[in-house]
Each structure stands twice: as C-alpha cells, then as structure tokens.
C-alpha cells in the first residue's frame, strides 16, 4: 500500500478501505506523508465525497490517533457540546457556565476560528490572563474543583484532526460533510464525554447552507456517535444572520457578560434553552425539557450562572476584574457607524458577509499563522425584522485602522437589505435530530 495509490483511488471516485484510511492517517500523523499528498487526498475527498462507511472509518481512525480521555473520575455523566461553526456564535461561553451552575460537570475542549467563523478559544483568550492550553491533569482538576473547564484541544487529542483541520482551512476544503463530521466526531469521541449535543448551524454563515444538508450531516454524526457508544442529539439552528449582536472576540465576551446578567437577545435565549435543555436531559438530571428550560433561566436570574463564569475564568488564570468592570477591556481605536440608507424593515443580514468582514478587520485569521486583534469586530444594532428609519445606525465597526474601517463599512452595507414592508421572521431552532 502506498499514498499515491490511495490518492489515485479517491481521484477516480473509488471507495477507500478501512486499511487504506488507517494507513494514510497513521503515516500522515507520524510525518511520513507530506502535506502536499494529504492536500491532494483531501481535495479528492472534497470533490468526490466519501461513503458513510469511509466517513465512519476516517472518524474512528482520527479519534484513535492520540489520547482518548477518561473522565470517569468525575463520577457523573459528562455531556459535551460542539457547534459546526457560525458567526457571532458565543453559545458555549454563555451556556456552559449555566450548565455547571446546575451541578452538571463541564469538561469542554473548544477550537479556534476557522474560515469566516469564529472560535471559542480565540474569544476566551480576549480575557487577559485566560489560559486555554492547560495540561489534561489540570483540566480534570479544574472540573473537579469548580465543575467547569473550557480549554483548547490539547496537542495529543485527535492530532490527525488538528493537522487536517489546518490543512483543509489553507486549501479551501472546509465545507465538506464527511470532513466536517469526521473532524467534529473524532474530537468529541477522544474528549471522553459519554453524551454529545451538537449545534448544527444552517444558513449563509454556516458550512451547511440548506436544512437538507444539515439533516444529512446530523444523521451521519448521530450514527457515528452510536457506533462509538456516544448518544448524540443534534439541534439545528438558524445561521442566516449572526447570533446576537456582537461579532469579534472582546465584543462577544462583552455580550456574554450581559447575557449572564440576564440581558439576553431573543435568538441567543432560544438557542441556549434548546441546547441546554437537552444537555440536562442527557446528563440524567431532568427528563422534562420545559422544566429544564426554567432551571436555565432561573440560574441566570439568580446570578449563579454569572458567578460560575467568574469561577471558570479565575481557575484558568483569567483576570476577573475585567468581567466585573467591562470598561477595562481594551477598545478599538475607531468605532465607525453604518447608517441606514432608507426607511423600512431589515429583510436580510447576511451572516457570511459579516463574518468575512470581521476577518478583514483582524478578528479572524486569513492564514493559520496570523495573529488576531481581539478588540476589533462588529456590533449589530439592527437585525432581521427590525424597523429602521433612514439615517438610523445599523451597526458599528470597531477597528484599529481608519482605511480598513472605511472598506469594512462598504462591505457591511452589502450584508444588509432593507424592505419596504414588514418581514416574516424565520425560526431560530429549525429541528432536533
């Protein structure tokens, strides 16, 4: 068996065997297969697809490419959560402290931004001092101590995914169903949680553009979960417009603080209630989804979730004085408004365009090695369904370079469409699979 034959087989639209997938993944992780050959195989997979069996074999091989965490010492069912990616998606950072405040352990490994989508690790790192790269022992110790830890993927957790994820990003091969589901499920299987709730995003700011695609990938990930003995629930959420008002790292932490103080925009509220109620159910802590939703709202209202957020940050060496006094966060040099050109109702706010613009501002990476600017981003004052008058402020661009800001305003203008008549609102939760 050699790598050229495997690449040629997929190029010719043939099905790879378990042994061929095993060989390729193992040798790539060891460094015996160069990036250019892995890129050729990934591109062939992207163009020609993979069967369910190939996808399952790829997932299990990637999960087994490094450590498989054992969380049994926590003594309780751990439910993991992961999103397939979106714009302004700060759901993990808001919801997981709520879950921990209900006594359900949270041991969560998150990712960095990918393409035009943001990443939880980048957002958390905008809190001065917050350490996202702790050793596994310390990670588990933190969960035992406070019931919650959120960190980045450790170097030996699904290392095959780590390499392939960066490679896919650099060759324009992120949005492929088999590659996305194997990437997510390999990490989730390796991260040790017994049960998994997935936020499968659908729409312009997601990798799955249609509900049909999202249902397909959700079923595929559920089947893989079953095979690996991990019960999986997928919540399909709308990503045609960004989640909440903030897009960009510090801005999203500022919005998170507000949400945990009870000031929650409707879309965020519906999403945290839908996903959170299933996490509680899967953890064996409440069969009734409506009651679970009440408990989530109650722990936000009584401040327990906010206090858990402070504990999380303190345990990861973050400086909680920033959370208590949000004005301490470094602001961008320029805060530039985008004005409505006509009176009407917001009909469209294209999440993808907002995500791309935020990357151009410096909130995300164009190349893997790029550093990000935590302070920059976009604050959306008006969203789909809102009534506007000509001259109203639609959004603010937070930027450190005036020319970049002017270009961003022009780009952002394209994201909005204003209709004369009131628009019909889309649901935030599209399906549960």
| Shortest distance in whole angstroms from residue 386 CB to ligand URA | 29
| Shortest distance in whole angstroms from residue 51 CB to ligand URA | 18
| Catalytic site includes residue 187 | yes
- What residues have CB less than 8 Å from 250, skipping those under 6 apart? 126, 329, 330, 374, 375, 377
Closer Cβ to ligand URA, 158 or 305, answer by number: 158
Could you tell me how many residues of this chain bind ligand URA (CB under 6 A)? 10
Closer Cβ to ligand URA, 111 or 152, answer by number: 111
Closer Cβ to ligand URA, 174 or 193, answer by number: 174
Single out the segment in contact with ligand URA by CB under 6 A; choices: 38-46, 177-185, 364-372, 398-406: 177-185
Query: Using CB atoms, what's the residue nearest to ligand URA?
Result: 183
Range 403-432, binding ligand URA (CB under 6 A): none
Query: Which of 10, 108, 162, 187 does the annotation list as catalytic?
Result: 187
Closer Cβ to ligand URA, 173 or 395, answer by number: 173
Contact characters 57-96, ligand URA, x per CB under 6 A? ---------------------------xx-----------
Closer Cβ to ligand URA, 1 or 47, answer by number: 47
| Shortest distance in whole angstroms from residue 286 CB to ligand URA | 28
SS (H, E, C) the chain: CCHHHHHHHHHCCCCCCHHHHHHHHHHHHHCCCCHHHHHHHHHHHHHHCCCHHHHHHHHHHHHCCCCCCCCHHHCCCCEEEEECCCCCCCHHHHHHHHHHHCCCCEEEEECCCECCECCHHHHHCCCCCCCCCCCHHHHHHHHHHHCEEEEECCCCCCHHHHHHHHHHHHCCCCCCHHHHHHHHHHHHHHCCCCEEEEEEEECCCCCECCHHHHHHHHHHHHHHHHHCCCEEEEEEEECCCCCCCEECHHHHHHHHHHHHCCCCCHHHHHHHHHHHHHHHHHCCCCCCHHHHHHHHHHHHHCCHHHHHHHHHHHHCCCCCHHHHCHHHCCCCCEEEEEECCCCEEEEEECHHHHHHHHHHHCCCCCCCCCCCCCCCEEEECCCCCCEECCCCEEEEEEECCHHHHHHHHHHHHHHEEEECCCCCCCCCEEEEC
| Catalytic site includes residue 11 | no
Question: If binding is defined by CB under 6 A, does position 111 make contact with ligand URA?
Answer: yes
| Catalytic site includes residue 168 | yes
| Shortest distance in whole angstroms from residue 404 CB to ligand URA | 27
| Shortest distance in whole angstroms from residue 150 CB to ligand URA | 15
- What residues have CB less than 8 Å from 419, skipping those under 6 apart? 344, 345, 346, 347
Single out the segment in contact with ligand URA by CB under 6 A; choices: 178-186, 196-204, 250-258, 273-281: 178-186
Contact characters 141-170, ligand URA, x per CB under 6 A? ------------------------x-----
Query: Which of 81, 90, 163, 168 does the annotation list as catalytic?
Result: 168
| Shortest distance in whole angstroms from residue 115 CB to ligand URA | 9
Query: Which of 183, 186, 204, 358 does the annotation list as catalytic?
Result: 183
Contact characters 180-219, ligand URA, x per CB under 6 A? x--xx-----------------------------------
**Residues across the chain:** 433
Active site residues: 82, 161, 168, 183, 187
Residues at the contact surface with ligand URA, assessed by CB under 6 A = 84-85, 111, 114, 165, 174, 179-180, 183-184
């Amino acid at each position: 068996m050699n790598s050229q034959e495997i690449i040629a087989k997929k190029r010719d639209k043939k099905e790879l065997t378990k042994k061929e997938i095993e060989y390729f993944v193992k040798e790539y992780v060891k460094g015996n297969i160069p990036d250019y050959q892995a890129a050729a195989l990934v591109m062939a997979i992207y163009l020609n697809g993979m069967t369910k069996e190939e996808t399952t074999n790829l997932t299990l091989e990637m999960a087994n490419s490094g450590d498989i965490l054992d969380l049994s010492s926590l003594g309780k069912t751990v439910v993991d959560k992961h999103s397939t990616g979106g714009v302004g998606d700060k759901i993990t950072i808001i919801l997981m402290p709520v879950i921990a405040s209900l006594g359900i352990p949270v041991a969560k490994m998150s990712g960095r931004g990918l393409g035009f989508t943001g990443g939880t690790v980048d957002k958390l790192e905008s809190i001065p001092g917050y350490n996202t790269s702790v050793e596994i022992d310390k990670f588990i110790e933190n969960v035992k101590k406070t019931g919650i830890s959120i960190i980045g993927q450790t170097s030996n957790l699904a290392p095959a995914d780590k390499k392939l994820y960066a490679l896919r990003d650099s060759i324009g091969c992120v949005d492929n169903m088999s590659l996305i589901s194997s990437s997510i499920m390999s990490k989730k299987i390796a991260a040790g949680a017994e049960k998994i709730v997935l936020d499968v995003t659908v729409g312009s700011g997601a990798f799955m553009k249609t509900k049909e695609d999202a249902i397909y990938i959700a079923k595929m990930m559920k089947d893989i979960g079953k095979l690996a003995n991990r019960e999986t629930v997928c919540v399909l959420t709308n990503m045609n417009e960004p989640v909440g008002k903030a897009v960009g790292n510090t801005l999203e932490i500022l919005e998170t603080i507000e949400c945990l103080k009870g000031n929650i925009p409707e879309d965020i509220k519906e999403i945290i209630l839908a996903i959170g109620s299933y996490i509680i159910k899967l953890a064996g802590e409440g069969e009734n989804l409506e009651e679970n939703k009440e408990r989530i709202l109650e722990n936000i209202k009584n401040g327990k979730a906010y206090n858990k957020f402070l504990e999380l940050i303190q345990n990861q060496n973050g400086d909680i004085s920033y959370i208590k006094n949000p004005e301490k966060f470094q602001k961008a040099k320029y805060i530039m408004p985008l004005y409505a050109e006509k009176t009407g109702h917001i009909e469209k706010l294209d999440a993808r365009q907002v995500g791309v613009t935020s990357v151009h501002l410096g909130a995300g990476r164009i190349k893997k090695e790029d550093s990000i600017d935590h302070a920059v981003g976009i604050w959306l004052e008006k969203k789909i369904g809102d009534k506007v008058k000509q001259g109203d402020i639609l959004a603010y661009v937070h930027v450190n370079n005036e020319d970049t800001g002017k270009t961003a305003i022009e780009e952002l203008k394209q994201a909005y469409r204003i209709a004369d008549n009131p628009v019909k609102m889309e649901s935030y939760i599209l399906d549960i699979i």
